[in-house]
A and B are shown apart, each in its own frame.
Chain A
């Protein structure tokens, strides 16, 4: 009885506003999981699409010097545009949809990936390619069996950076209502500064980024068995 009165007084004076509340997470697991799903889908789609566009661009940019300049200059420019402005540029065309967020994210991941892919391809020693050509490798085989394995560490480094920063960037999507876990951050802010919700969103983003990075590091190890002995 007494505790109930205490609780009522507490609610009027200062509602408890814990930094983390497990019961909040359990009570809202459905909406949290839905937002987490959206977050993961957006990240994966952005990085995969970015990589698919970046690879041919990087290959073209390596071929000709006059193409490398504009590609790198454009990527620097896109880099500098703040994400909120980017979404604001795209939103009038595609509306308040996930497509808006996805287009912005693809552009940013594309920019990171093109630079890393290009750097990786440029670092392939010219005499190795020359030797492969001398042995009768065609362009396709040269790319997949010589360039690809040698540039793979740089590619993977790019994909890791792109993934981690995309996970963080998805949160800005709240501007069009599709910010994944970012929705929890602004939602908690709007709900009278409800800390448990904000921290759940923020912590979720950080953990998701670290998990993605770990998975990609594992994938890199699997894909480049020859590098293991060297690095250790």
Chain B
């Protein structure tokens, strides 16, 4: 594993981390783009999912949306936004990533709201809750675990997908990989792959911990939960590799 040794040497060189456009700069750019994309998607998807879930309309729409989004290659979307008048750069990348983050959040919010016990909603109405209060004070807390799963899925997906921006000359950690390929420097390629994979796994672990801490109700770490036995795998698993 000669290339692996080269990769370790690459990662051990402080200069590779601190120089301009080094690992730290690319990491900062990667995280900035990802955070913006996730926030933008949350602003669109969560209120829409709440509305659709509360009224019970548009279920077919959100399912169809998440199915179709699976068929659209991320690379295509990243490129298509770059050739619109938006122009190519971090804005186009952020928009493309945000568009990809919407379906998982929308679907999970919708499913979470629909899953709330109708009796509880009925009781809240009988106690004089307005529709808005029912949505924000009854349905929202009860739908929170699933909603957070949606946000987590979307966030991990965005962090993973942001690497692809490097294929169309965007920024982020994927650049180490594309540059390495161009220079036939497989040490750098493997080093970039290690960084990208580690970032994705860390994001997943961190968000699992955060959503575990924030979610009301029974505290069980997702990977310790006994798996249900059914013909359908977990409803909100990341769905697709990225």
Please tell me if the beta carbons of B192 and A201 are within 8 angstroms of each other in the complex.
no
Secondary structure type dominating chain B contacts:
helix
Please tell me if the beta carbons of B242 and A83 are within 8 angstroms of each other in the complex.
yes
Please tell me if the beta carbons of B168 and A189 are within 8 angstroms of each other in the complex.
yes
Please tell me if the beta carbons of A167 and B168 are within 8 angstroms of each other in the complex.
no
* Shortest Cβ gap from A160 to chain B (Å): 10
The reply on B127 being an interface residue by CB < 8 A is: no
Partner of B181, one of A81, A115, A176: A176
Per-position binary interface string of chain B over residues 230-242, scored 1 when its CB falls under 8 Å from any chain A CB and 0 otherwise: 1111000111111
Q: CA separation between A186 and B178, bound complex, in Å?
A: 13
A210 with B232, Cβ < 8 A, contacts A80-B200, A84-B166, A165-B241 known: no
Q: How large is the interface on A (under 10, 10 to 19, 20 to 34, 35 or more residues)?
A: 35 or more
Across the interface, which residues of B come within 8 angstroms of A89, CB to CB?
190, 193, 197
Please tell me if the beta carbons of A175 and B240 are within 8 angstroms of each other in the complex.
no
Q: CA separation between A208 and B4, bound complex, in Å?
A: 37
Given A120-B231, A153-B231, list of 18 further CB < 8 A pairs?
A80-B197, A82-B200, A84-B174, A84-B196, A88-B192, A92-B186, A92-B189, A119-B233, A122-B230, A158-B233, A167-B73, A169-B73, A171-B75, A175-B181, A185-B75, A193-B88, A202-B72, A202-B76
What are 18 inter-chain pairs, A to B, with CB distance below 8 A?
A80-B200, A81-B200, A82-B163, A83-B160, A84-B167, A88-B177, A88-B181, A91-B186, A120-B231, A123-B229, A168-B70, A168-B71, A175-B181, A189-B79, A189-B169, A198-B76, A202-B76, A202-B80
Q: Which 9 A-B pairs have the closest CB atoms?
A: A202-B76, A209-B71, A88-B193, A82-B160, A123-B231, A85-B193, A165-B240, A108-B241, A92-B3
Residues of B within 8 A of A (CB): 3, 70-77, 79-80, 82-83, 88, 156, 160-161, 163-164, 166-169, 174, 177-178, 180-181, 186, 189-190, 192-194, 196-197, 200-201, 204, 223, 227, 229-233, 237-242
